[in-house]
Structure 1
């Protein structure tokens, strides 16, 4: 959580502003921790869900129309919720999981629930683009479905998956600012409490610049890793 520092419009600005000198770096760390923990949890949960959607679809490794329809409907329903409404509606569940609804660690719960269906659809799309010939070759060699999924589909779609993870991370950076509005901590809360509500425009400018820098770094790293793992 971000401690409250009372400030007015005539207080010192920029480097002399206590909000920036004392609270900016803890808020930045909270945002990075929030995005990292959510991203890891989303990839762990969303990847197998995406593989399930791909394999159970018509033309998949193991077509199961009913299962695909049920899972797909659940995924679509969760994705259709505006994130702010989803976050508020699962506050009791968040409190049950982490014991509180405030702080960056509590924000990880709704962020993950909202991001998993989104990433699962990305995974489904990525593995669907893998060449059918490579899958058929693996089947002719007697590979199991799980081996085909992880050894062929995931491996062949790795560059696209890295780009999907990059897109996921950039999206989570934006969502992390949103959870700050309702006590989720991080740069979003600092921006709202002091930059906007407190009319401290130096705080607003600095936090916005930091968000832009984070997104640019994530995108550059994602593009570089995608090129490194692309052996086609």
Structure 2
């Protein structure tokens, strides 16, 4: 009996299975370590397609990050990596050469679960020409729009953006805090979203890190704890 207990204790102490629990509701996760844009967790295809060579930089949220300039787009397959019925998409951004608190000459599109031309349903996050963070959830001609002012944002600082969706409600979070929400019916939920989802920075250079997609809606408490757990120390 003592020997059995010792073996179990040893396994618990040294096995990575016991040391860190894996959230099985994660469909996709990309960390951008070791100069790779491919996902480290993916229920579908983990491979990234890159329109042009991407740069990887140090001082990410945790480890390295990917730097995207206008004209560079990372795309991943939606199949099995996204659940349109209910989900949470989280990603970190750091404005590099543009001031997020000021107007820009065009919209800066960050993240999109949609066709390349966003011709159908979509879940998109972007900075408006004004200093406003926006998310679109829904279908062409019937979008739910979630917004928050970016006057407090600063250049070269990391921000965690998250959007959740399910039948009933869609929510936008920044740094673990709920900043906007909207009711959404089953008929209004996004559909015909194409085959890929993408990361890009269409107006200015932006660093991205820790992209995670869940097949469920994270709660406000989970979002707050996740931000507190992963937020980099401000210098």
Measured against the shorter chain, the TM-score band is under 0.3
More strand by share: 2
TM-score by length of 2: 0.21
Select the structure of larger CA radius of gyration: 1
More helix by share: 1
